[in-house]
Chain A
């Protein structure tokens, strides 16, 4: 009886307030989509860092033939020059550098062919187009500046490059996008709270006679307020589910079908990540509804 009664009240409330309920659903949908997008962007950044930071090292590019750098005046780096550089690394940078290995032109070509078996953008390259380099694993990737200071300008060294730096603009962009999404999400969440508050208030006022009778005949507080709580919660959770669905569709069609096909060497967020984010969106929705309800109901359905 209790359950049936509450369910009936909730249904009646949702019907009576359709426009407001739809508004709540839409606002929570949009706001939580932004929350979810921010979360997915951060997941994406995490994935990229996981994938790349382990792979990337400091590359000490050795002089190829025809380099314009002053340290390469003597032409392609000689074995003696390479050994000298390795000596410096072993002595002066023994704390910073964990491991050193030489990527010869042959190694570089092999790695290249593996990645682009059909040539790079239609051009078939040869081993001679590759550049030899020393690859350094740093004990602490943050120590790049020290390594760079020591090695730059040595004979036979064309360029010292922190490969992580290649990704920094990308990460910066993704972080800015995250902030943007989070900011929009914040504004929309505020709008959602206000809207849910108004909706519950409208619902409570339109059913004031009922609630008045309910408290006079001794219905418990919970019983009086539960239908309103559930109304707000149902609308908000519907919005959250829509947001989850929207994100899933975006990942499915934008990321999986389009991005992955055009840029295929990157690990992307996938449906599983959306599934991880979705429960949190629902939780946020429930929290929103709960906060709004507590604020409103204590004022409008007080015993």
Chain B
């Protein structure tokens, strides 16, 4: 594994278990402003399904964009798919991104290309041979339930179908990690459920899924690991979690990072932890 030696330099962790590791990560956009992330330590293990919840502005998007190395952290270490992302040089970034798939709330399909072309695009631009494209794309479209709609344009698809096409594009290169930024944000509950089943299926093939969401129903139904961010701080990290108090996550309610006022679900604050090691969360089934 090419990233192994670099990762071993970090020490004390067995590479192979964690696909995403945040070590006391802080991100400050403008000097003096409140940090977007503050001292965040999170480990995501191979094959895990993690919900990232929190109000708008709580740091979910910053978290995902740091994983993608769209930006570098102000402080702390980030390791993704065996790479030291905080110190990754720009020309190595494309290789990192090939280990990651990304899905967005607004699908981001290319409107002038058919479903097939949209998915094939992701392979073509990383230089995959034509034969590989021909073999893989129909397979993936079948997996996401879009066989027979290869020639449709995105505008001829429902929202759910567009998101399936976007997911197909994200996983067609078989990434280790799938990042989803509110993938059901534009979809009705029934359609959302279909998308979640699809993500679950992708997860069950060994792909790690990190999904930022506001959809409490989905989180409560799926019962997977939940990491809650508030004002850039991890305020809760639990296995088989629920969405939590809706009120406490809504942006109107400002809370300090020191919790105690919130009721209901158990919380664990990331700050105040003596060791950077986060609490290890048992995974379900695979690992």
Contact = CB atoms under 8 A, between A and B. Distances in A.
Contacts of A210: 110, 121
Interface residues of B, number: 28
A1 interface: yes
B90 A214 contact: no
A5 interface: yes
A210 B91 CA distance: 19
A218 B95 contact: yes
Given A1-B127, A223-B127, A303-B90, A218 B110 contact: no
A87 to B, nearest CB: 81
B124 interface: yes
A218 B91 contact: no
Interface in B88-103: 90-91, 93-102
Contacts of B94: 215, 218-221, 303
Of listed B68, B124, B129, residue having the most chain A CB within 10 A: B124
A218 B90 contact: no
Given A5-B125, A218-B98, A209 B90 contact: no
Contacts, number: 61
B182 to A, nearest CB: 16
Interface in B61-117: 68, 90-91, 93-102, 108, 110
Of listed A2, A212, A216, A217, residue having the most chain B CB within 10 A: A217
Contacts of A219: 94, 125-126
B130 A218 contact: no
A2 B96 CA distance: 20
A219 B127 CA distance: 8
B98 A216 contact: no
Nearest to B131: A1
A49 B126 CA distance: 58
B163 interface: no
A282 B110 CA distance: 36
A223 B125 contact: yes
Contacts of B176: none
B27 interface: no
A213 interface: yes
B129 A1 contact: yes
B98 A217 contact: yes
A224 B124 CA distance: 12
A223 B93 CA distance: 13
A104 to B, nearest CB: 80
A224 to B, nearest CB: 8
Given A1-B124, A1-B127, A5-B124, A215 B108 contact: no
Contact of B110 (A1, A2, A213, A303): A213
B36 interface: no
Given A1-B129, A209-B110, A218 B96 contact: yes
A216 B69 CA distance: 10
Contacts of B97: 215-218
Contacts of A217: 97-98, 101, 122, 125-126, 169-170, 173
Interface string A1-17: 11001000000000000
A254 B100 CA distance: 63
A138 B95 CA distance: 72
A206 to B, nearest CB: 11
Contact of A216 (B95, B102, B124, B129): B102
Nearest to B97: A218
Nearest to B123: A217
Interface in A1-39: 1-2, 5
Contacts of B96: 218
A221 B90 CA distance: 9
A45 to B, nearest CB: 49
Nearest to A8: B124
Contacts of A214: 125
Nearest to A214: B125
Given A210-B121, A213-B110, A219-B125, 20 more contacts: A1-B124, A1-B127, A1-B129, A1-B133, A5-B125, A212-B108, A213-B108, A213-B169, A214-B125, A215-B94, A216-B68, A216-B102, A218-B96, A218-B97, A218-B99, A218-B126, A220-B126, A221-B91, A223-B125, A223-B126
Interface of A: 1-2, 5, 209-210, 212-221, 223-224, 303
22 contacts: A1-B124, A5-B124, A5-B125, A209-B108, A210-B121, A213-B110, A213-B125, A213-B169, A216-B68, A216-B102, A217-B97, A217-B173, A218-B97, A219-B125, A219-B126, A220-B91, A221-B94, A223-B127, A224-B125, A303-B90, A303-B93, A303-B94
**What are the 10 closest A-B residue pairs judged by CB atoms, nearest first?**
A218-B97, A218-B98, A219-B125, A217-B122, A218-B94, A214-B125, A220-B94, A2-B127, A5-B124, A1-B130
